[in-house]
Chain A
Amino acid sequence: MLDWILAALVLIGAFFTLVGSIGLYKLPDFYMRLHGPTKATTLGVGAILIASMLYFSFSTDAASLHEILVTLFLFITAPVSAHLMAKAALHVNIQQVARTQRYGDLHQWDKPSE
């Protein structure tokens, strides 16, 4: 029974990581591609870590909880790196696909362009 749950979790994790990578490959512009990796690190890695936690908790006598730290550090670092990449991309003016909607007056484009 446990094996099935573990297998399911690992497969779910692998699936979402794969989808993240596919997104990175096929989405049309930089800002949209940025969404791929943030997906993979949340549910993809999350499911694999839960599987690891369950496996090591049941195969040894002691509960294995240090996977929580991996999640914690990923959840802290992934959004920050995504934010910095997006900020840098806006700064060097990487173009978005033409159909990108801009809602209202955005502070980023308030400044007069050089």
Chain B
Amino acid sequence: MLKNFYTRLLPHPVLTVILWLIWLLLNNTVAAGHILLGLILAILIPFLTSAFWPEKVRIQSPLTLFRFLVIVLWDIVIANMIVAKLILGRNDDLKPAFFDVELDIQTPLGVSLLANTISLTPGTVSCDLSADHRRLLVHALHVEDIPGAIKHIKQRYETPLKKVFTAC
């Protein structure tokens, strides 16, 4: 009964926390008034818009998510330097490629996060998702070993994302 009440009042706890944090960051303050106002908004907005979010987001393993974010940030820094070197080098040495990544991850949020991660890490841009959401077309600026690159994406990014966002 009480649990039911909570799920109706807070249909998307993750969204509530994110909205609250964004409100405080937008105002760049931790004054009591803003904490309260932000909390009210963060509860009210998901409640009023819950029809737009049919899918429940549940983070299964926050530690994995945190480790994943650190890995991605680190990869962005490293890959940036590699790509800077590639861009400043000769065009003719570049070996661009299109390849498909077969997706094991099925939740829409998981797929979009994976696609975003691929685009954010320099050197690869996700280009197209197949109609059945099972294959993601990726363009790479320079790749020598394509099966290796696919394996890298799957192991490094997809596995943790799949662990964090499993369908409930």
Cα of A102 to Cα of B76 in the assembled complex, Å: 25
Evaluate whether A43 and B99 lie within 8 angstroms (CB atoms) in the complex, with A83-B127, A107-B130 already known.
no
**Pairwise interchain contact B80-A79, C-beta atoms closer than 8 A:** no
Which residues from B are CB-within-8-Å of A78? 119-120
* Minimal Cβ-Cβ distance residue in B for A74: B120
Interface flags for B84-109 (1: CB within 8 Å of A; 0: not) read: 10011001001111111000000000
Cα of A66 to Cα of B117 in the assembled complex, Å: 22
Which residues from B are CB-within-8-Å of A107? 100, 128, 130, 135, 137
**Pairwise interchain contact B122-A35, C-beta atoms closer than 8 A:** yes
**Pairwise interchain contact B77-A43, C-beta atoms closer than 8 A:** yes
**Pairwise interchain contact A39-B80, C-beta atoms closer than 8 A:** yes
Q: Within residues 26 to 62 of chain B, which ones have a CB less than 8 A from any CB in chain A?
A: 26-29
**Pairwise interchain contact B122-A26, C-beta atoms closer than 8 A:** no
Which residues from A are CB-within-8-Å of B12? none
In the assembled complex, the CB of B148 is this many whole angstroms from the nearest CB of chain A, namely 11
Q: Within residues 140 to 168 of chain B, which ones have a CB less than 8 A from any CB in chain A?
A: 141, 143, 146-147, 150
Chain B CB count within 10 A is highest, among A31, A72, A90, A102, for A31
**Pairwise interchain contact A26-B125, C-beta atoms closer than 8 A:** no
Evaluate whether A39 and B96 lie within 8 angstroms (CB atoms) in the complex, with A69-B22, A86-B125 already known.
no
Interface flags for A45-81 (1: CB within 8 Å of B; 0: not) read: 0100000000000000010111011001001101110
In the assembled complex, the CB of B158 is this many whole angstroms from the nearest CB of chain A, namely 16
B65 at interface (Cβ–Cβ under 8 A)? no
* Minimal Cβ-Cβ distance residue in A for B150: A103
Interface flags for A12-47 (1: CB within 8 Å of B; 0: not) read: 000110011011001111011011101100110010
**Pairwise interchain contact A87-B128, C-beta atoms closer than 8 A:** yes
**Pairwise interchain contact B96-A100, C-beta atoms closer than 8 A:** yes
Cα of A101 to Cα of B29 in the assembled complex, Å: 51
**Pairwise interchain contact A83-B126, C-beta atoms closer than 8 A:** yes
Evaluate whether A103 and B128 lie within 8 angstroms (CB atoms) in the complex, with A43-B76, A66-B26 already known.
no
Chain B CB count within 10 A is highest, among A42, A75, A99, for A42
In the assembled complex, the CB of B150 is this many whole angstroms from the nearest CB of chain A, namely 8
List 14 contacting pairs A-B, 8 Å CB cutoff, sorted by A. A22-B87, A28-B91, A32-B96, A35-B122, A35-B123, A38-B119, A38-B122, A39-B87, A43-B80, A79-B115, A101-B97, A102-B98, A106-B137, A108-B130
In the complex, the 4 A-B pairs of residues with the closest C-beta atoms, listed nearest first: A79-B119, A86-B127, A103-B99, A101-B97
Q: What is the interface of chain A, defined by CB distance below 8 A to chain B? A: 15-16, 19-20, 22-23, 26-29, 31-32, 34-36, 38-39, 42-43, 46, 62, 64-66, 68-69, 72, 75-76, 78-80, 82-83, 86-87, 90, 96-97, 99-108
